[in-house]
Structure 1
C-alpha cells in the first residue's frame, strides 16, 4: 500500500535545459534540421555512460553537445520549455527551476539576451497553461572563462524575480574538475546582490573537499549533487548546519558511474545527517529517468516510507525560490497527500 509519488506535490530544482528533452523531441528536431545523431541517442538509448574519468566525461559531453546542436530556433527553445513544464506537471512537480546557459544557443537567436527572453516568456506561458510554475536558473560553465560568468550573472540580475517566468538563481555547471572554483566567486557576488539564489554544482565527481571549497568561495544556498560530502563528517555537518540544500540526482549518479548501483547512492546517509535534500532528474534525455523515478528509487531501493518521501518533497519546496505563499500552499498540499489513503501496490490510476 503506497501513495502515488506522481501525486506528491514537489519542487524540481535540478533540471538542465537540453537534458530535459524528451527523446522523441530530440529525434524530431534532428530530422527538422538535418542532423545525424549517434546510435547512442537513437537505437542505443539511454546511452551507457561513465564520466568518472576524462574519456568518459568527454563521451557524455559529446552526446550532450550533439543534442544541443539540434536546438536551432525560437520554436525549438519554446518547445523544450513547454514540454519540460508538461512533464513535470504530470509527475506532481508544482514548481520547476530549469537551468539554462544562454551562450549555448545565442549564435542561432541573436545573442544571450534574446535567448534568455525567449526562455522566460515561454516559462511564463507554460506556467499558466500547466499549473506548474516554471522559473529559470542561469548557469555559467566551468570550462569558460570566469569573466564570461560575470557577463551571465549581470544578465541574470536584469531579469531577477521571485515567480514564474523570472530568473531566480545563478549556477555553475559542467565538469567540476575543470576551472578554479574561487575564480567564479565575483560572478556569484553579482548574482547574490540581485537577490538570486547561489546554486553551483559540486561534490559529485570530486570529493568532500570540493564541497567545502564551494561552501567557502561561492556561499551556496544549494549545491547541485554534493553527495560526496558524506566522505567527511565535518563537511557533512557544515552542509547540514548551514541549511544548504543538496540537489541529489540518484539516476544521474549511477548513470555517470559515480556509484555502481542505486543502493550505493548515499541518500539515507544525507537525510540521517540532517541535510535538506531536493531530488532532481538532472538530464533525463541522457540518463533515462525523470523526477518521479527518483522518488520511486528512494522508496524501493532506500526504503523510504511515505512520510519520509513527503519530507523529501518538503525539502525540495523549502529549498526552492518559490514565493512564500506558494511554498506554504505546496507544503499544505504535501500534508494532504500524506493524509490521503494509500493505494494497493501495482498499476495505479
Structure 2
C-alpha cells in the first residue's frame, strides 16, 4: 500500500456536531451517576447502539436514547465539561474550527432559562476555544417537533449574539425528525436569523428524499444543509444545490448507523463530489453513532477511494463552508496546502 498522510493532522472545519451527541460515552455514564439517572444498556455497553431510524419505531428509540443522554446535562459544570471535551476531541481529529449545534430549550429547565443557558454555552465555548486552540462558534437550532413560534423565539435569542468569532452565534438550524412538522412553517424564524446575518443551516434530505430538500431550498434559503445526501435521487434538486453553492454537511457514519444506507459504500459521497457539490464531512452524534470526525475522512479514503488530494479538497470545502472569519479561513486553507505538500508517512 502506498504511503498516506495522517488524516488526523489534516486541518479541517467541523460543521455538523450536536451538543449532546458530542459527549464521550464515559462522560454520559459519569454524569448519570452524579445525578442519579438510570441509563439503558445501550448507553453503557461501550458499543454504539443498534439503530434503524428510517421508520417511526426506530426513530423513537434513537430519540429516547438521545433524550436520556441530554437529561444528564444539568449543571454549569456539566456544560463546561461537555464543551471542553468536545473541543479536545475535535483538536485530536485535526479540527481547527468547530460550529457546534445546540437547542437551549433542552437544558433551560435546569439552567435558569433560555438566555442564561445560551450565555453559559457561549462562555464555555470561549474558554474551551482558548484552551484547545480550536476556534469554536455556535449554531442555535430549533426543533421540528416543537411549534414554529418556539423557533421564532430561538431565532430572536440567537441574533442577540451574532458574530463570526469564537464564542459567538454564527448560524440558525432546524433539527429532529424530518417527517415531523411542515418545513414551510419555520420560514419566519429563518427570515429573522438571515436578516441578522446568521447562516441558514437546516437539516434535510436524510430521512426524506429530494422532494423534502426542494421544500427546504424554497422555504428556508439554506447556506448549508445538514446531510442533504438524498438530493442525489433527483438531478434537478442536486443541480440547484451545486448552482447555489450550498454546502452539504455529509455524515457517512450516521447515515449508516441510522439505516439510511445499508453500508458505507452506499453513501453517495462520490456522486455528490462528481456533480460538483460542496461537501463538508461531519460526525453528527458520536455518542450514539460511534464515529468521530477523522473516521468520516477515513471512510472517504478507505471505502470511497479518495486520494489525499481529494481529501484535502474536502477539508478545504469544510473551511470555505464555515462561518470562520476570512483571515482564519485563509490561514487554514494554507495549512491544508501544507499538509498536502508534506511527505506521506
TM-score range, shorter chain: over 0.9
In the alignment, what sits opposite 2:131?
Answer: 129
Which residue of 246, 249, 262 maps to 1:247?
A: 249
Partner residue of 2:57?
55
Indicate yes or no: 2:237 matched with 1:235: yes
Equivalent residue for 2:334? 332
Alpha-carbon distance in 1 for matches of 2:71, 2:94: 30
**Matched-pair contact (CA < 8 Å) for 2:21–2:286:** yes
Which of 262, 265, 270 lines up with 2:264 in the alignment? 262
Identify the residue that residue 217 of structure 1 maps to in structure 2: 219
Q: In the TM superposition, what whole-angstrom CA distance separates every residue of 1:35-85 from its partner, at most 9, and x where no partner exists?
A: 110011112621000000000000000000010011111110111111111
Q: Determine whether 1:90 maps to 2:92.
A: yes
With structure 1 as the length reference, what TM-score do the two structures score?
Answer: 0.98
Map of 1:205 onto structure 2: 207
Q: How many residues in Structure 1 have an aligned counterpart in Structure 2?
A: 343
CA deviation profile, 1:146-199 (whole Å, cap 9, x unmatched): 000000000000000011000000000000000000000000000001100000
Distance apart, 1:101 and its partner CA: 0.2
**Residue in structure 2 matched with residue 172 of structure 1 by the alignment:** 174
Q: After the TM superposition, which residues 18-33 of structure 1 pair with which residues of structure 2 at under 5 Å, given as runs?
A: 18-33=20-35
RMSD over aligned CA atoms reads 0.5
Matches within 5 A, 1:107-126: 107-126=109-128
- The 2-side partners of 1:132 and 1:72 are apart by 25
Measured against aligned partners, the alpha-carbon deviations of 1:6-52 in whole angstroms (never above 9, x if no partner) come to 00000000000000000010010000001110011112621000000
2:305 — aligned with what? 303
User: Which whole-Å CA distance do the structure 1 matches of 2:38 and 2:153 have between them?
Assistant: 33
Q: Which runs of 5+ in 2 are unaligned?
A: none
> What's the counterpart of residue 287 of structure 1?
289
Structure 1 segments unaligned to the other structure (5+ residues): 344-349
The residue that corresponds to 1:271 in the other structure is 273
Large movers: runs of 4+ above 6 Å = none
Q: What is the rounded CA distance, in whole Å, between the counterparts of 2:46 and 2:88 in structure 1?
A: 25
How many Å apart are 1:320 and its aligned residue?
0.2
